[in-house]
Amino acid sequence: MELTSFKCPNCGAEVAFRGSDFTVCEYCQSQIVLDGIADKAELERLRRENEEYLEQNSGTTDFIRKQKIWKRDRNIAFAVLGGLMFFGFLSVEYVNVGLGAILVLIGLVIAFGAPPWLAARYPSFDEERSVVVYKKGERTAKVFALYGLAILVSLMAVFLAAILAVGLGDDEEKPSDNVYVSSSTDEGADKAVNKWLNANTSRNGGKDYYRCTIPDKALKELTDDGSFYDMAKEMDTAMDYLLAHDSVTVTEVERNDALTVTQLRGAEKYFRMTYGCDVNAEKGYEYSFNILQSSEGYESREIYRELCAVELGYGEWKVIEKSASELKTYGRQND
């Protein structure tokens, strides 16, 4: 018979007939007989020949099977690694810093542990003996190759997460950036007050609000345990509700006198009592402004407010929602 190849009726793989009407699929091990075989003795002879062929090539079959298993394990390991890095990065930014850190830590464990484990299980084929072997000489090179792949997968996952984070950030309404006050000296104080005012008149100003009111020492602790993001979300929710019903406008912002030594000591005590951290208030100013709040169907009301901006060193300006006279009272009190 001139036919040399055929599709396996069981799995659809290509099978070859080596000059006979009987063969065995190398993929699913199905025995295939072409029409026209009537001699049972001949059929038995062909079956024995194919059994001998399979026995002689059992090493190759075993190698192919183990290599498929190894590739499957490799793909699973690096898919899990990429997923952990991707969702870990996003969790740090949008969900919870602690959860994100745990996901990234698990990913690092896989990135460091999977390459040696996979390299030790990588199958090679000894053609002389027709058996599967695990060569130690190839293990080191395989480990470095797998480490390179782990680094590449991790970087790609973080890169994709960063792109997604930027896209999500672009969809959010940004806090306004109005300049309410500007002077020629100590611009850091004016910037802190402007940021505070914009945060208090925007739907998504929660992060800016806490960044300009909480000392960096305490802010780091709140960020690490995820509390910072929860606080910011709560404020954004409250402001979204307020601005959906009311209109808030800031007017007549003025910088008043510089804070006295007693008032600066009061600022230090305020931060110590409120956030539990010791700071050194080097200088500061009092600011005054009006807030015009109006609702549809209701009479508008104007509120006069005072607050202070204090420098805690190295250009770290923070806003205290207290007047200079209140800080003076803090400074005169004993701890």
- Letter for the amino acid at 126? D
pLDDT, averaged per 10 consecutive residues of the chain (335 residues), comes to 54 64 70 55 58 54 77 92 89 73 91 88 62 58 87 91 70 63 79 92 90 92 86 90 87 92 95 92 95 83 94 91 94 76
What does DSSP assign to residue 20? S
**Does residue 210 sit in helix, strand or coil?**
helix
pLDDT at res. 225: 84
pLDDT at res. 95: 65
Rg of the Cα trace of the chain?
A: 36
pLDDT at res. 141: 79
pLDDT at res. 203: 85
pLDDT at res. 94: 67
Q: What is the pTM of this model?
A: 0.52
pLDDT at res. 131: 47
- For residue 295, how far is the Cα from the chain centroid? 40
Query: Are 165 and 90 spatial neighbours (Cβ–Cβ below 8 Å)?
Result: yes
Burial class, 20, CB count within 10 angstroms (exposed 0-12 / middle 13-18 / buried 19+): middle
